[in-house]
Amino acid sequence: MYHEILVPVDLSHLDKLAKALNTAIDMAKHYNARLHYVTVTNSTPGAAAHNPKELAQKLEEFAEEQGKAHGIKTDYKVLQSADTAVELDEKLIEAIKDVSADLVVMASHEPGIGDKLHLLRSNGAEIVKHTDISVFIVR
C-alpha cells in the first residue's frame, strides 16, 4: 500500500518526536516501505548543528542508525530555506514530490494558546490541502 514514507524531523527535538518516529517505523516495517527523514533549515546555527552541512551529516547518521536498528530502508534529505517559519510547508511539499512519497507521518505540536487564538496554523493541514497523499498526524 505504501512504498515511500516521508517523516519531517527536527533533530533538536527528537524527544518530542518519539511517538511519531515509532509510528513511522512500524508502518515502514508493515509495508516494507522506505522512510525518508526530512528536515528544513536555514543557514544560521541552530540547536542541532552549526550549519546545514553539519546538519546533513547528523541527519544521515540518524537515518542510518534507524535503518540498522529497526531493519528498515531509510534515506534523508536536508532542505535549505531563507525563512523556515514561512517556507516550511512549501519545502515539505517539495520533498514529498522529490521522493515520490505516498504517505507523510508527522508529529503534531502541543496544543496551546496559539491554537485557541488561531495564531498557529497546522503544517499537516497545509500538506493535506496541497498534495494528494495521505498524512498521518501523531499526537
Question: What are the cell numbers at 116?
Answer: 485557541
| Structural domains for the chain | 4-138 (3.40.50.620)
Q: What is the pTM of this model?
A: 0.88
Phi, psi of 103 (to 5 degrees): -160, 140
Does residue 50 surpass a pLDDT of 80? yes
The model's confidence at residue 32, banded by pLDDT at 50, 70 and 90, is very high
Cα separation, 35 vs 117, in Å, equals 35
Residues whose CB is less than 8 angstroms from the CB of residue 78 and which lie 6 or more positions away in sequence, other chains included: 38, 39, 40, 41, 52, 55, 56, 59
pLDDT, mean over the chain = 89
Kindly state the helix (H) or strand (E) to which residue 68 belongs, with its residue range: helix 52-70
Distance between CA atoms of 87 and 46, rounded to whole angstroms?
17
CB 105 within 8 A of CB 138: yes
Instruction: List pLDDT tens digits, range 10-22.
Output: 999 999 999 999 9
